[in-house]
Amino acid sequence: MSASIFIDTNVFIYHLDATDPRKHALAGDIVSEALRTRNACISYQVVQECLNVISSKARVPLTPEQAQAYLDAVLAPLLQVGASLDLFHRALGIRARWRYGFYDSLVIAAALTAGCTKLLSEDLQHGQQIESLTIVNPFREANGVRS
């Protein structure tokens, strides 16, 4: 695997939901760059979470056909980490050491398994280093400037 950036589910949700124009634009840039450069990846869990939200929980849910088109055009090309016993073991170790919930630990484990050095997520602690991985909130603002 050659991606250096792992993208969490919330980026894809903002990519589809224009309710917050700033986050929508930032997510659009992230997803476009990921697809263009192939320097980012996701796991099966991100695909599952995203499809669940966009099919039923989104402000305006996508139709099954629209969800399938998004899966094929956006999520599938970035999918690099599948479920495995090793991944689950790694997630449990991360959970024990860093005290994240299991599903967050699974995202972190997937990013590490893919060899990523950055995990883009709004849901985790910005700036935290876990092994070779740095968590970055791409929507964070510092003094009105995105960091």
pLDDT digit string, tens, across residues 51-80? 999 998 877 789 999 999 999 999 999 999
Range 99-113 burial, b when 16+ CB lie within 10 A, else e:
ebeeebbbbbbbbbb
**Which pLDDT band holds residue 86 (cuts at 50, 70, 90)?**
very high
Q: What is the pLDDT of residue 2?
A: 74
Query: What's the CA gap between 142 and 147, in Å, rounded?
Result: 6
- Least confident piece of the model among 21-25, 81-85, 140-144: 140-144
Query: What's the CA gap between 119 and 1, in Å, rounded?
Result: 15
pTM over 0.85: yes
Given a cut of 60, whether residue 147 has pLDDT beyond it is: no
Q: What is the pLDDT of residue 142?
A: 58
**Three-state secondary-structure class, residue 131:** coil
Query: What's the CA gap between 108 and 8, in Å, rounded?
Result: 9
Query: What's the CA gap between 121 and 6, in Å, rounded?
Result: 9
Give CATH superfamily name and number for 7-146: 5'-nuclease (3.40.50.1010)
Q: Give the angle subtended at the CA of 61 by the CAs of 109 and 41, to the nearest 5°.
A: 25
Closest CA to 50 of 84, 87, 8: 8
Q: Which sign, positive or negative, has the C-alpha torsion 80, 82, 88, 92?
A: positive
Contact 8, 122 (CB under 8 A): yes
